[in-house]
Structure 1
Amino acid sequence: MRCCTGDQIVIETATLDTPRRRGEVIEVIGQGEREHYRVRWQDGHESVYFPGPDARVLPRA
C-alpha cells in the first residue's frame, strides 16, 4: 500500500455493526516496507496508522 499526502484511507470492517473508517493522509512516515502514515480521521482526531489488509487508498482528486 502506497499513499501520498492528501490521499484518503478507507478501512473496511469485518462486522456489520461497525462502520468503515475514513481519513486523510497528512504525513507519510518512513520508506518502502516500513512506510506508515499520520492520518486525520473523519471525527477530527489524528493518529499514526500502519495499514493492514482491510485498508484501501482513494487517491487525491
Structure 2
Amino acid sequence: MQANVGDQLVLRSDSVGKTDRTGEITEIRGPNGAPPYMVRFEDGHQSLIYPGPDCLIRPS
C-alpha cells in the first residue's frame, strides 16, 4: 500500500449498521509512502494506522 500526505484513508465498517470512517493522511512514517500513517479523522481524532485489508486509499 502506498499513499501521499493529503490522501484519504477509508476504514471499512466490519458490522451492519456502522458507517465507514474516513480520515486524511497527515504524515507518512514508512519509507516511500508505505505505512504506518498518521491519520486525522472527521471528528478531529488522530491515530497512527497500520492499514489492514479493510482499508483503502483515495488519492487527493
TM-score bracket, normalised by the shorter chain, equals: 0.7 to 0.9
Deviation of 1:37 (Å): 0.3
Identity %, equivalent residues:
37
The residue aligned with 1:18 is: 18
The residue aligned with 1:46 is: 46
Count of aligned pairs = 59
Q: 2:9, 2:56 within 8 Å by CA — same for their partners in 1?
A: yes
Separation in structure 2 between the aligned mates of residue 24 and residue 36 of structure 1, nearest angstrom: 13
Deviation of 1:17 (Å): 1.7
Q: 2:35, 2:49 within 8 Å by CA — same for their partners in 1?
A: no
- Tell me the TM-score normalised to structure 2 length: 0.88
Runs of 4 or more above 4 Å deviation: none
Deviation of 1:20 (Å): 0.5
RMSD: 1.4
Query: 5+ unaligned residues in a row in structure 2: which ranges?
Result: none
Q: 2:27, 2:38 within 8 Å by CA — same for their partners in 1?
A: yes
